[in-house]
Chains A and B, each alone.
Chain A
């Protein structure tokens, strides 16, 4: 086979390879070209973050407005210190509240932001003061079991007094 034909085919081969890798990194993986000046970060403190992970979405009214960029434990007060990186197109007022929600019954956890009424907006590095922790299923169940136990206790107490 002629040298130029081989060169042409190998050129096509390499072009296919580059196209495939570009497709995989742009369309399949979440490599979104996002410069740092179009985002700003806030932080929030939670008593319990449940199963929240780094890169979990931050949503407001169901729209993804940013991602969780860092999670660490504040060793002075023993609360979770969660850093949120938000798109600077979306601004939130200073009394915005953050809560950790679950998508579906067993889905992934995300941070939900609810806009407040304050005219001033949160700026880079500010703290979201109003937070509510994740619902942990085991704690819910144990609370339910406890209240159920108390109820049946009072029931048996009433029965005992009735028997008297």
Chain B
């Protein structure tokens, strides 16, 4: 009788239960990765191989986008600061915005789309072609052999990539501010030096990137491991990795910023 009222509420409840169920299952998955991590730390060459694919191969995209983000910050920041007659604060503006927000967030977004999607596709395809089942049959735990090395490689690569992004961005701001516009070089560096604090800005930025690394890689390996073993399933899982990672990065960034600064 009240079907038109009950159905939307039932749908809402179903979505909610599903979301909580997925959260529980992803936490359970993280727990089992941590349990089986001992094995991949004793065979560290597995992790090194994955760092090569997740970290080293992302270097080009991180360097180029860091440089361009820094140059855009330099141009836009100069235009706005010059209006208030304080263009000498450009160094501080570029360094603070990169270290606190842009560096960790943009590096994590790029990492999620470049490496996170690759990890999901790889693990999902392994599942589709029954390689994971074959491992289980041979008494090799697929979480210890396939998932844990990829997880640790992502977690270790992310802070390095974010730090590189920051350095390239600051260099890009230098190129625009000092080389192109002609601000004083000493002012650029000393303004930066005076306003950036090691613990408050640099360390907090690195903590952020570490948290993003854990979140992105966990989502990537979970989606791959959880993918429906069909071509369409792997494609959907890859899409979900990128979308969920982006949303989680931005939400976590807000929470971390509210706590840190």
Contact = CB atoms under 8 A, between A and B. Distances in A.
Interface in A31-58: 31, 55, 57
State the majority secondary structure of interface residues on A.
Answer: helix
A129 interface: no
Contacts, number: 69
Given A13-B59, A31-B198, A20 B163 contact: yes
A10 B51 contact: yes
Contacts of B59: 13, 16
Nearest to A57: B194
A4 to B, nearest CB: 11
Given A14-B160, A30-B193, A24 B99 contact: yes
B218 interface: no
B52 A10 contact: yes
B167 interface: yes
Interface in A1-40: 1, 3, 6-7, 9-10, 12-14, 16-17, 20-21, 23-25, 27-31
B45 interface: yes
B56 A25 contact: no
B99 A28 contact: yes
Contact of B164 (A6, A10, A17, A57): A17
Nearest to A12: B56
Interface residues of A, number: 23
A17 B197 contact: no
A62 B194 CA distance: 15
A55 B200 CA distance: 13
B196 A29 contact: yes
A13 B51 CA distance: 9
Contacts of A17: 159-160, 163-164
Interface string B38-62: 0000000100110110011001000
Of listed A6, A13, A14, A28, residue having the most chain B CB within 10 A: A28
B170 interface: yes
B201 interface: yes
Interface string B151-170: 00000010110011011001
B119 interface: no
Contacts of B163: 17, 20-21, 24
A7 B160 CA distance: 17
B160 A10 contact: no
Interface in B199-218: 201-202, 206
Given A13-B59, A21-B206, A28 B52 contact: no
B29 interface: no
Contact of B45 (A3, A23, A25): A3
B36 interface: no
A29 B196 CA distance: 5
Contact of B198 (A6, A12, A25): A25
Given A24-B167, A29-B197, A30-B198, A16 B160 contact: yes
Given A7-B48, A10-B56, A24 B160 contact: no
B189 interface: yes
10 contacts: A6-B52, A13-B157, A14-B160, A16-B59, A20-B160, A20-B167, A21-B206, A28-B170, A28-B196, A57-B194
Given A24-B166, A29-B193, 18 more contacts: A6-B49, A6-B52, A9-B56, A10-B48, A12-B56, A13-B51, A17-B160, A23-B167, A25-B202, A27-B189, A27-B193, A28-B170, A28-B193, A28-B202, A29-B197, A29-B201, A30-B196, A30-B197
Q: What 10 pairs between A and B have smallest CB-CB spacing? A: A17-B160, A20-B163, A29-B198, A31-B198, A20-B167, A29-B196, A6-B52, A9-B56, A13-B56, A29-B202
